[in-house]
Structure 1
Amino acid sequence: MTATTPPRVLTVAGSDSGGGAGIQADLKTMLALGVHGMSVIAAVTAQNSLGVQGYWELPAEAVRAQLDSVLGDIGAQAVKTGMLASPELVETVAERLGAYEAPVVVDPVGVSKHGDSLLAPEAVDTVRTRLLPVATVVTPNLWEVEQLTSVKVEDEDDLRRAADAILELGPAWALVKGGHLPGEPVDLLTDGTREYRFTAERLDNRHTHGTGCTLASAIASHLAMGEDVPGAVGKAKEYVTGAIRRGFPLGDGIGPVDHAWQWR
Structure 2
Amino acid sequence: MAPTIARALTIAGSDSGGGAGIQADLKTFQELEVFGMSALTAVTAQNTLGVQGIYELPPQAVAEQIDAVVEDLGVDAAKTGMIANIEIMEVIAEKVKAYAIPNLVVDPVMISKSGHSLLNEDARLALKRYLLPLATVVTPNIPEAEVLTGLQLDSMEARKEAARMIIGMGARSVVIKGGHLPDGEAEDLFYDGQEFSILSSPRFETPHTHGTGCTFSAAIAAHLAKGEAVLSAVRQAKAFITAAIRHPLHLGGGHGPTNHWAHRLQEGKA
| TM-score for the superposition, normalised by structure 1 | 0.96
How many pairs are equivalent? 262
Displaced runs of 4 or more, over 6 A = none
Q: Which amino acid letter does the alignment assign opposite residue 206 of structure 2?
A: N
1:39 aligns with 2:42: no
**Is the CA contact 1:155–1:181 (under 8 Å) kept in the aligned structure 2?**
no
Partner of 1:168: 168
Partner of 2:90: 91
RMSD: 1.3
Q: Tell me how far 1:5 sits from its aligned partner.
A: 4.2
Q: Tell me how far 1:157 sits from its aligned partner.
A: 2.9
- Which structure 1 segments of 5+ residues have no match? none
Q: Tell me how far 1:98 sits from its aligned partner.
A: 2.2
1:195-214 equivalence runs, <5 A: 195-214=196-215
Q: Tell me how far 1:158 sits from its aligned partner.
A: 1.9
> For each residue in 1:26-45, what CA deviation from the matched residue of structure 2 results, as whole angstroms up to 9, or x when unmatched?
00000000100000000000
Partner of 2:252: 251
Q: Tell me how far 1:248 sits from its aligned partner.
A: 2.1
Q: Tell me how far 1:69 sits from its aligned partner.
A: 0.6
Partner of 1:136: 136
Q: Which amino acid letter does the alignment assign opposite residue 63 of structure 1?
A: V
**Is the CA contact 2:20–2:214 (under 8 Å) kept in the aligned structure 1?**
yes
Q: Tell me how far 1:53 sits from its aligned partner.
A: 0.8
1:208-247 equivalence runs, <5 A: 208-247=209-248
Moved more, 241-250 or 28-37: 241-250
Partner of 1:58: 57
Report the identity percentage.
Answer: 51
Q: Which amino acid letter does the alignment assign opposite residue 144 of structure 2?
A: E
**Is the CA contact 1:156–1:186 (under 8 Å) kept in the aligned structure 2?**
no
**Is the CA contact 2:107–2:213 (under 8 Å) kept in the aligned structure 1?**
yes
Separation in 1, partners of 2:166, 2:120 = 20
1:93-172 equivalence runs, <5 A: 93-99=92-98, 100-172=100-172
Separation in 1, partners of 2:115, 2:90 = 25
